[in-house]
Structure 1
């Protein structure tokens, strides 16, 4: 989802891959080294810092890049420039500040952002927080829907696990805010409904509507075709 611009670039599958990649102790140390460094580092810098062979470091850096955890840039380092100053150095920086994944998909970070933004807006505007939460979640849904293109792509990427209900509609077999909804159903389900209605508008979907779903085994909302 969108806790930060960078984290949003990893899909749910990408986050799972990233977590698996960091299960290797060398790659984890490399990622932490680069995350804490104020400057991009070269392979030689990393090898020296971790006291490991350059060949070992290169293989792990390549894996972290392929898994979406690192970015690469080529730049000449040092004071010498121009002809004869040597080839640009391959440098590495982190692509994401942190990595989290869950099975099934959960997005408590998104809920926290929306709730915090709604409270701040309520304080600034003196509008009731339930109203600001609806507005903030709806606007976030519009943005996410526009990015996804279709409501079904949004539901898949956001971890709702959309499944046909056998009657032309779609149930959401997973709730991305499951634990929160167990203790704060009124707040979380209201947030979720506003988010999904905003997503419909954002992706330009005029064929479906969001309706409540009382089945406790999955999400509190259902996607159904419009009847008129």
Structure 2
């Protein structure tokens, strides 16, 4: 889910009855029906149905259909509409952080290094470059892609400053590793995007990402 969808989903939980219904469904070991939820929360069935469907629309609940009687075939009746917590993971941070991306890159690099016997650091850089390149070929504006991935680009003449570091806490504790990883990621983005006339360099200003885009020499 993108940031807008995440915010919409979280906003759906701001309604008290809806939040209680979500908590109830999430606490059950099996999918629950509208009648179950209405009885548990002591609310009208149509109220439960409305809020359950809203939670499903926002991706917070998943809908399944099952016959509660266990009977099959003619006369078994229609399957009941049931709800369970969805597998969708929602995380919102302001400003945007991408620690899940860093975790996947680092875990993948460790596996690569163990399999090849090579340098873990080089494996991290290779993975980061591949990741950046994968979303650089979308054809959308470069600043839009950077913004979607949490870099908060700011055009400064012919250069582009990256006002936010998506990996800030990691970069603070492990600057050499994480800043180089970020550099390779942005280089991959530029390689995938095509001729931008820009190149990624280390040397962002204080409070910004360590990477900056400068006119290519």
Larger RCO (CA under 8 A, 6+ residues apart)? 1
Give the alignment's Cα RMSD to 1 decimal: 2.9
CA contact (8 A) 2:161 2:204 kept: no
C-alpha distance after superposition, 1:85-144 (max 9, x if no partner) = 655654445444432211111111211221122122222221111101011112222223
Q: 1:98 to 1:27 in 2, by over 3 A?
A: farther
Per the alignment, residue 48 of structure 2 pairs with 57
State the alpha-carbon separation in 2 of the partners of residues 179 and 16 from structure 1: 23
Per the alignment, residue 96 of structure 2 pairs with 105
Instruction: Give 5+ residue unaligned stretches, structure 2.
Output: none
C-alpha distance after superposition, 1:142-162 (max 9, x if no partner) = 223346744323211111111
State the alpha-carbon separation in 2 of the partners of residues 201 and 77 from structure 1: 53
SS in 1 for 2:136: helix
TM-score (norm 1): 0.77
Using the TM superposition, give the Cα deviation of residue 169 of structure 1 relative to its aligned residue in structure 2, in angstroms. 2.3
Q: 1:217 to 1:98 in 2, by over 3 A?
A: same
CA contact (8 A) 2:200 2:212 kept: yes
Larger radius of gyration: 2
Aligned pairs, how many? Answer: 214
Matched, 1:212 2:202: yes
State the alpha-carbon separation in 2 of the partners of residues 138 and 104 from structure 1: 23
Q: 1:142 to 1:169 in 2, by over 3 A?
A: same
Q: How does 1:125-204 map to 2 (within 5 A)?
A: 125-146=116-137, 149-165=140-156, 167-202=157-192, 204=193
TM-score (norm 2): 0.80
Instruction: Give 5+ residue unaligned stretches, structure 1.
Output: 1-9
State the alpha-carbon separation in 1 of the partners of residues 181 and 139 from structure 2: 19
Using the TM superposition, give the Cα deviation of residue 171 of structure 1 relative to its aligned residue in structure 2, in angstroms. 1.2
